[in-house]
């Protein structure tokens, strides 16, 4: 099969490349802003450089999608959180460009990476199936954009009916893996905090009500591959068991949990973000304390999908990666020292403001 993947060098993209190359027999095209060196898993891909937020993205994608059996749309922006206009253009403009190009070329299938963040609040700590409202969490830009992207797909399917490109939607919980540790920390830690300090935290000040769905990137990749193999359509929840709570995180960190109400923590996160002391906006915290858990019955029955990592194993894997400064050679996941990050913050601006993390 000829499979085109946007965001193919990121967290999920790298895991998907491992899965698809292990299966063999596929022609893989990766669309990213900054192609990785042709080494390791990245050497088996035809890399194409393209910013999906560019005005010319649709025309470029039409050229790249020609003859594709499947398109997997993973590209998304987590930073810069202080430039919402760019994140919106990348998320919604990029999704529209992918959708328009896929329709124009008549690709065999579009697999869209959605998220638990697309779901509305109202069932925290309770499982929902794919019929739950996808209105999102209003205070989270990430959630709003995921919700709006799914609404765009809904409109497309209504408009084109039987002539629409078949669309599958993956709605995973929070995705982690060892190899993405450096990238995840770069997006979430201020440049002046070395990532190796995270596993050494003696205290974990966090609300005791935390209860979130977590999943390893390998299991997300397996779900995506099964969607392609079976030409699946519609939404699929993907999450591991058990749900992760505050004490699970504290145990994995070997830290003592201290109750800090989410409202108080939210004010601290918001203030420090507004002062540009750290790069994570309050919306991520609101989402963590609002999104429901995921009922994955549909993925189990229709895709015969089952996670191979428990949520606690996935959490331990990424924390081990943080301690070891694990990374890959792709631009989103490569390792950078605290000195490098500080130097770049001075020369190019903070990660929460510049367009290239």
Inform me whether the pLDDT recorded for 356 exceeds 70.
no
pLDDT tens figures, 100-113: 999 999 999 999 99
**CA dihedral sign of residues 357, 175, 95, 230:** positive
In a domain, residue 329? The reply is yes
- In degrees, rounded to 5, the angle at the alpha carbon of residue 150 between the alpha carbons of residues 3 and 107 is 25
- Asked if the structure places residue 323 within a domain, the reply is yes
Among the listed residues 81, 69, 293, the one whose alpha carbon sits nearest the alpha carbon of residue 173: 293
Provide the domain limits for residue 292: 2-348
Under 8 Å between Cβ of 31 and 75: yes
Residue 355 in domain: no
pLDDT band at 40 (very low <50, low <70, confident <90, very high): very high
Sorting pLDDT into bands at 50, 70 and 90, what band is 357? low
Q: For residue 92, is it within any domain?
A: yes
**Cβ within 8 Å of residue 183, ≥6 positions away:** 10, 11, 327, 332, 333, 334
Percent of the chain with pLDDT over 90: 88
What six digits make up the tokens of 124? 């925290």
Residue 285's contacts (CB-CB under 8 Å, 6 or more residues apart) are: 262, 265, 266, 269
Residue 236's H or E segment, with its range, is strand 234-238
Percent helix, strand, coil in the chain (nearest 5)? 45, 15, 40
Cα–Cα distance for residue pair 120/291, rounded to 1 Å: 7
Is 69 part of a structural domain of the chain? yes
Count other Cβ atoms within 10 Å, centred on residue 156.
18
Q: Following CA atoms 140, 337, 19, 63 in sequence, which dihedral angle do they give, to the nearest 10 degrees? A: 70
How high is the pLDDT of residue 335? 83
- Rounded CA separation 155/238 (Å): 24
- Closest by CA to 213, choosing from 290, 111, 133, 135, is 290
Mean pLDDT, range 39-43, rounded to an integer: 95
Q: Nearest to residue 224, comparing CAs of 332, 311, 305, 107?
A: 305
Q: Give the pLDDT confidence of 302-354 residue by residue, as tens digits.
A: 999 999 999 999 999 999 999 999 999 998 998 877 677 777 777 777 788 86
C-alpha to C-alpha distance for 75 and 19, rounded to whole angstroms = 18
- Residue 187 in contact with residue 334, Cβ under 8 Å? no
% of the chain with per-residue pLDDT over 70: 99
Average pLDDT over residues 3-30: 97
Token readout for 306 is 């089952």
Domain count within the chain: 1
Distances (CA, A) of 318 to 175, 216, 307: 10, 9, 16
Q: Is residue 240 part of a domain?
A: yes
CATH code for the domain of 172: 3.40.50.720
pTM of the model: 0.95
- Of 22-26, 66-70, 188-192, 276-280, which range is least confident? 188-192
233 domain-assigned: yes
**What's the pLDDT tens digit per position in 202-236?**
999 999 999 999 999 999 999 999 999 999 999 99
SS3 97: helix
Asked if 110 and 138 touch (Cβ cutoff 8 Å), the reply is no
d(CA 68, CA 57): 17
Is 303 domain-assigned?
Answer: yes
């Amino acid at each position: 099969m000829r499979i085109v993947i946007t965001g193919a060098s990121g967290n999920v993209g790298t895991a998907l490349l491992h899965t698809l190359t292990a299966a063999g027999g596929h022609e893989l095209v990766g669309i990213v802003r900054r192609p990785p060196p042709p080494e390791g898993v990245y050497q088996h891909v035809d890399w194409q450089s393209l910013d999906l937020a560019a005005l010319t993205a649709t025309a470029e994608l039409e050229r790249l999608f020609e003859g594709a059996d499947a398109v997997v749309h993973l590209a998304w922006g987590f930073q810069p959180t202080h430039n919402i206009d760019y994140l919106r253009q990348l998320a919604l403009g990029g999704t529209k460009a992918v959708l328009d190009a896929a329709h124009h070329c008549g690709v065999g299938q579009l697999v869209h990476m959605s998220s638990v963040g697309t779901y509305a609040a109202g069932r925290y700590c309770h499982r929902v199936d794919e019929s739950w409202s996808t209105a999102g969490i209003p205070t989270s830009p990430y959630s709003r954009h995921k919700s709006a992207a799914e609404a765009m797909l809904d409109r497309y399917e209504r408009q084109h009916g039987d002539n629409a490109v078949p669309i599958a939607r993956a709605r995973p919980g929070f995705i982690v893996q060892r190899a993405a540790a450096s990238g995840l920390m770069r997006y979430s830690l201020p440049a002046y905090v070395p990532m190796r300090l995270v596993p050494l935290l003696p205290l974990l000040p966090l609300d005791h009500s935390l209860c979130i769905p977590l999943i390893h990137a390998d299991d997300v990749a397996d779900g995506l591959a099964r969607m392609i193999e079976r030409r699946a359509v519609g939404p699929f929840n993907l999450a591991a068991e058990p749900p992760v709570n505050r004490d699970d995180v504290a145990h994995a960190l070997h830290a003592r949990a201290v109750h800090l109400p989410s409202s108080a923590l939210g004010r601290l996160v918001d203030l420090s973000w507004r002062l540009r002391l750290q790069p994570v906006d309050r919306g991520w915290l609101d989402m963590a304390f609002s999104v429901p858990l995921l009922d994955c019955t549909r993925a189990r029955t229709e895709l015969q999908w089952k996670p191979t990592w428990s949520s606690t194993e996935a959490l331990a894997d990424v924390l081990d990666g943080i301690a070891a400064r694990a990374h890959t050679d792709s631009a989103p996941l490569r390792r950078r020292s605290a000195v490098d990050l500080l130097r770049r913050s001075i020369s190019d601006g903070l990660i929460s403001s510049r367009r290239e993390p």
